[in-house]
Structure 1
Amino acid sequence: MYNFNHLYYFYMTVKSGGVTIAAKYLSVSQPSLSGQLKVLEEFLQIKLFKKVGRKNELTREGAIIFGYCRQMFELSQEMHETITEQIPHAYRRIYVGVSNEIAHSFVVEVISHFLKKYDPQLRPKVTMISGTHEKLEEQLRFREIDVFVSQLSAKSTDLENLEKVEVPVNLVCTLDKKLETQKRNLSINKVLSAIDELGLHRWVVPSAGFKLRSEINDYFEQNSLKGDIVFESDVIESLTRSVVDKVGISFLPLIYVPKELENKLIYSFGPKRGFWKHRIWIACNVGNQEDLIVNSLAHSFKEVCSPLISR
């Protein structure tokens, strides 16, 4: 009789692309996983893998076994999804991955909007998890999370980009008295030069390596902007707070600062379309693209972004 654990270990090893990633996903050590695969080979009396250069590839027999395993475990997953769809929303928990380059307050706003669509007793439960884009993409492939929100699109064929928004990025700052008196007379093209003349060119920026930081660097270079970087952070919300506290000025996507703009704690300078567009995606596993809860969350993502983008 086949040991289904051994077959599942083999299936996940092939699907994930190797023992290292599979062992991490399965929460077993690499030697233990390799040992289980060896036991399966001995039971089947065939070789499942062959060495090609530095990589292991499936043998002909291994490919046949994997084909059956894929059908078996994908059918099992389909059964799970069918049953899950029958579970009342109140018993569902949705795991939302958020890139550490995205303002978490923005995603909380999306989740809040999503939950308000349901009666309090029937609302799904939500767990929000942060990490790098690469880590979240891996978790989404293995369905450890249901969706992710990221500054990069999902590239894997196992994943589906549900929505993309292009967010205007403008200059945000508090109003210096001199700048306030001139604000109405400033054309968009003169905003940055006026700030430079008034000596307000102290910048707060995201940490090096962030996509938004790269966009800011490119804009600085293209427009010969000057100034001192007085604060940089890998926490987007801290940039907003630094602007409010007059530590410096910044370029920020407008969907990250709606309340600050509404309450006039800071002001936005620039064209309505923004100096440039910052893109944000929400993605899911292809196996979940028909899931009503996942699609409801993606729709909320779009609904929250739309009015903020059109300001």
Structure 2
Amino acid sequence: MVNFELYKVFYLTAKSGSISKAAKELYLTQPSVSHSIKILEEQLGMILFSRTSKGVELTKEGSVLYSYIEQAYNFISMAEEKLQELRTLSSGEIKIGGSDSLCKHYLLPFLETFHVQHPHVQIHLVHGTTPEIVKQLKEGKIDIGIVRLPIEDEQLQVREGITIQDIFVTGPKYRELSMNKVTLAKLKTYPIILFSRNSFSHNFITRLFHDNDLLLEPEIELGSVDLLIEFAKIGFGVSFVTREFVAKELAEGSLYEVNLDAHIPPTKIGIITLKNMPLSMAASAFVDELERNR
């Protein structure tokens, strides 16, 4: 194994393109930097730099080495930052991915409480569908994903959150649907409003109809839960939403739950992280808060 300090000299020289700048950053003399590079080249058996009028530039072999050393250097810097965060929650950041509806109706109260407790921890929210959130998590772009379960992936650690119940709701125009039992076949004769086609809820309810030998063709598809709620209120049709997310509207009477003569299975919200990848202190504290309140 080559001494790591030699790689450090190599990295800073390559990054700055100058032996003198690297020497200044390392608090070494220029001859010491040149000597370290020479030792590294001898140990690896290849030339890593060529001299130019402006300084030094990487050879082809040097460029290959740099691409790996840069990643290693970045990971070491990240590790140092994580260790610093272990000392205190007075700094740090959490990157959380989830759908618009889960961020607004599920995460927001926790985010508000966490921010009051740890005002210096930065929180970044990334919106997307479940496949998009999983992809971002695997690419290291977020720390935590909030999704609907079930989800099966060997690379993910899945923690169960609260249980939620999806329902059909309508405004005053179709209020009769809340008074008497309605079959899926009967409901299908009304204008149905669903979330966008690639969403969990869209696939979930169309699969339920399919299992009952019915083809569900929504009249309207929307990209926002808020729009689903508003469209149902003003009489465009019957929207498929999460009961917990429309509790206020149901209580005040601006929405009515359809009295469906069919069982819609409840679902759970899942907290997903990468297996074998330790969370920062801030992210771990936030996950603990979510689990305590499931």
Same fold, judged at TM 0.5 (above):
yes
SS of alignment partner, residue 137 of structure 1:
helix
Q: Is the 8 A contact 2:160 2:268 kept in 1?
A: no
Is the alpha carbon distance of 1:278 and 1:234 closer, same or farther for their aligned partners in structure 2, counting shifts above 3 Å?
farther
CA distance in 2, matches of 1:214, 1:110: 23
Is the alpha carbon distance of 1:266 and 1:123 closer, same or farther for their aligned partners in structure 2, counting shifts above 3 Å?
farther
Is the alpha carbon distance of 1:291 and 1:37 closer, same or farther for their aligned partners in structure 2, counting shifts above 3 Å?
farther
How far apart are 1:248 and its partner, in Å?
0.7
Unpaired stretches in structure 2, ≥5 consecutive residues: 1-5, 14-57
Q: How does 1:117-156 map to 2 (within 5 A)?
A: 117=114, 119=116, 122=119, 124-151=121-148, 153=151, 155=153
Root-mean-square deviation over aligned CA pairs = 4.3
CA distance in 2, matches of 1:193, 1:136: 32
Q: Equivalent residue for 1:114?
A: 111
Is the alpha carbon distance of 1:274 and 1:261 closer, same or farther for their aligned partners in structure 2, counting shifts above 3 Å?
farther
Per-residue Cα deviation, 1:3-25 (whole angstroms, up to 9, x for no partner): 4489xxxxxxxxxxxxxxxxxxx
Per-residue Cα deviation, 1:252-277 (whole angstroms, up to 9, x for no partner): 22233233223332122458x96123
Q: Equivalent residue for 2:98?
A: 98
CA distance in 1, matches of 2:89, 2:124: 17
SS of alignment partner, residue 257 of structure 1:
helix
| TM-score normalized with structure 1 length | 0.60
Unpaired stretches in structure 1, ≥5 consecutive residues: 7-35, 45-64, 307-311
How far apart are 1:173 and its partner, in Å?
1.6
Q: How does 1:1-311 map to 2 (within 5 A)?
A: 1-2=6-7, 3-4=10-11, 39-40=61-62, 77-89=78-90, 91-99=91-99, 102-106=101-105, 109-117=106-114, 119=116, 122=119, 124-151=121-148, 153=151, 155=153, 157=155, 159-176=156-173, 179=176, 183=179, 186=180, 190-192=181-183, 196=187, 201-223=190-212, 229-269=218-258, 275-286=264-275, 289=278, 291-301=280-290, 306=294
CA distance in 2, matches of 1:302, 1:274: 28
CA distance in 2, matches of 1:104, 1:131: 10
Q: Is the 8 A contact 2:172 2:233 kept in 1?
A: no
How far apart are 1:83 and its partner, in Å?
0.7
How far apart are 1:227 and its partner, in Å?
7.6
Q: Is the 8 A contact 2:98 2:127 kept in 1?
A: yes
SS of alignment partner, residue 219 of structure 1:
helix
SS of alignment partner, residue 265 of structure 1:
coil
How far apart are 1:249 and its partner, in Å?
0.6
Is the alpha carbon distance of 1:98 and 1:285 closer, same or farther for their aligned partners in structure 2, counting shifts above 3 Å?
same
How far apart are 1:289 and its partner, in Å?
4.8
| TM-score normalized with structure 2 length | 0.63
Q: Is the 8 A contact 1:163 1:298 kept in 2?
A: no
How far apart are 1:281 and its partner, in Å?
1.9
> What number of residue pairs does the alignment pair up?
243
CA distance in 1, matches of 2:129, 2:175: 41
SS of alignment partner, residue 155 of structure 1:
coil
How far apart are 1:78 and its partner, in Å?
3.8
Q: Is the 8 A contact 1:114 1:300 kept in 2?
A: no
Q: Is the 8 A contact 1:179 1:195 kept in 2?
A: no
SS of alignment partner, residue 246 of structure 1:
coil
Equivalent AA in structure 1 for residue 104 of structure 2: S
Is the alpha carbon distance of 1:172 and 1:42 closer, same or farther for their aligned partners in structure 2, counting shifts above 3 Å?
closer
Question: What percentage of residue pairs aligned between the two structures are identical?
Answer: 15
Q: Is the 8 A contact 2:114 2:286 kept in 1?
A: no
Q: Equivalent residue for 2:36?
A: none
CA distance in 2, matches of 1:138, 1:171: 30
Per-residue Cα deviation, 1:72-122 (whole angstroms, up to 9, x for no partner): 876654433121122434x3332211246x54422xx52333332554673
Equivalent AA in structure 2 for residue 97 of structure 1: G
